[in-house]
Amino acid sequence: PDAQVEASARKRQSQLTKPPGSLGRLEALAQRLAGLQRRVLPRVDRVQISVFAADHGIADEGVSAFPQAVTAQMIANFAHGGAAISVMAQTLGATLEVIDLGTVVAGPPLPGVRHERIAAGTANFARAPAMTDAQLAQALHRGRAAALRAADAGVELFIGGDMGIANTSSATALACVLLGCAAATLAGPGTGLDAAGVMRKAAVIDAALARHALAPDAPLDALRSVGGFEIAALAASYVACAQRGIAVLVDGFIASAAALAATRLAPGCDAWLFYAHRSAEPGHRVLLEALQAEPLLDLGMRLGEGSGAAVAVPLLRSACALHAQMATFAEAGVADRA
C-alpha cells in the first residue's frame, strides 16, 4: 500500500461536500483502496470471481447434509448461469471462472470451467493426510495462477469462491490447527446439519486433529493434512493477489479459513484483504475476530461460492463513486463549518 496516495485520498475526502466522516466506513474503504491501487481515485469496475471446486474425502464420515455428487452438479450449474454466484457475476458485470480441482465424479467440458483436476477429491483426513506434498503444490499453483490471470487482465478486485461438499469440515479443522482451538469452537451446521450432526462433525474433526498432531505455526502442513484443494488454492490466490497488488474481497467461512492460512504463509498480505460479510456459520465470527476483520455486511448468508463477497461489491463501488464524483466545498460554493 502507498501511504502517500492514501493520505491524498484522505485529504480529498475531507474537502467533499458533507460533514467530515459522515459517509462512515465508505470513506475509509475509498482511502484504503486508493493506497492499494496507488491512485487517488480508485476503481473496482473490473472484478474477477474465481470459484475453486473440489471434493473432500471427509464426506465419508457423514459430516454433510448433501451428497458429494452435488459438487460436480454445481460446477455445471455455475457454467449454465443458474447458481447464485453466476447470477451475481452477471449482475455485477464481473468475469466468472470456475476451476475444477477434482471432484469425485468428473464432469464434461463446459464453457467457463477450467478442468485442472488434481485427484478425485482429497483423501479422508480422518484416516490419512488429505493430500500428498505434490497435490498440495498443485493446488497452491492453481490458486496462484488464477490470481495471475486476474493481474494480467488488469482486474481491480479479486473474489475467490469455494464449492465442495463437506468443506466446512476441512475449513474448521484447518482453522482449529492455526488458532489452537477445539472443533466445538468452530464447527457449525454448514449446509444444514442438525445439532446432533454438528456434535458428530466436531467429534470427527477432533479425533482427526489428535491423529495428525499439527503445529499452529506450520500452515502448509495443516493445509496438506486437513485442507482441501479449493482451500489451498484460495489461500495461494490471496497471497498472489497481494504480491501483484490486487485488492481481495474475502467471502465467508471457507474463504476466511483460507485467508487465515494466507496471512500465516505471508503475513503482509492482510493489507490487501477486505472482508465482505459475517456468515451465519457460527465459527465465522471467531475467525473474523482472529483476523481482526470488521466485515461490511451481516445478512445471515452462508452459501459460499463467493456469493457474500459478490453481494458486497456494490458497497466498494459506491465508496469509489462518492469519493471520485462528489464536489468539494470549493467547487460547489458550499460554506464549510460555522
Task: List residues binding a copy of itself (CB under 8 A).
Answer: 16-26, 64-67, 69-70, 73-74, 76-77, 80-84, 87-88, 90-91, 191-192, 280, 296-303, 307, 310-311, 314-315, 317-318, 321-322, 325-327, 331-335, 337-338
Instruction: Specify whether 305 is catalytic.
Output: yes
- Cβ atoms of 56 and 228 closer than 8 Å: yes
177: left (phi over 0), alpha (psi -120 to 50) or beta: alpha
Strand partners, 247: 157
How many CA atoms, within 13 angstroms, populate the side-chain half-sphere of residue 293? 32
Strand partners, 162: 52
- Cβ atoms of 111 and 81 closer than 8 Å: no
Minimum distance from CB of 261 to a copy of itself (Å)?
24
Minimum distance from CB of 41 to a copy of itself (Å)?
13
Q: Between residues 32 and 144, which has the closer beta carbon with respect to a copy of itself?
A: 32
Q: Between residues 222 and 296, which has the closer beta carbon with respect to a copy of itself?
A: 296
Minimum distance from CB of 267 to a copy of itself (Å)?
28
Q: Between residues 188 and 219, which has the closer beta carbon with respect to a copy of itself?
A: 188
Q: Between residues 267 and 300, which has the closer beta carbon with respect to a copy of itself?
A: 300
Write down the number of H helices and E strands in the chain.
13, 6
For residue 272, give the 3-state DSSP assignment. Answer: helix
Minimum distance from CB of 43 to a copy of itself (Å)?
13
Q: Scan for cell 465459527, then name that residue.
A: 283
Minimum distance from CB of 179 to a copy of itself (Å)?
25
DSSP-assigned letters across all residues of 316-338: HHHHHHHHHHSPBHHHHT-----
- Cβ atoms of 147 and 158 closer than 8 Å: yes
Q: Scan for cell 471520485, then name that residue.
A: 324
Nearest C-alpha neighbor of 281 from the set 295, 263, 265: 295
221: left (phi over 0), alpha (psi -120 to 50) or beta: alpha
Nearest C-alpha neighbor of 118 from the set 205, 246, 233: 233
For residue 17, give the 3-state DSSP assignment. Answer: coil
Given 61, 156, 305, 331, the catalytic residue: 305
Q: Which three cell numbers stand for residue 93?
A: 458485470
Minimum distance from CB of 36 to a copy of itself (Å)?
19
Minimum distance from CB of 131 to a copy of itself (Å)?
25
Handedness of CA 123, 126, 127, 131 (dihedral sign): positive
CA dist 115 and 159 (Å) reads: 19
Q: Between residues 96 and 310, which has the closer beta carbon with respect to a copy of itself?
A: 310
Q: Between residues 62 and 154, which has the closer beta carbon with respect to a copy of itself?
A: 62
Q: Between residues 56 and 302, which has the closer beta carbon with respect to a copy of itself?
A: 302
Active site residues: 305
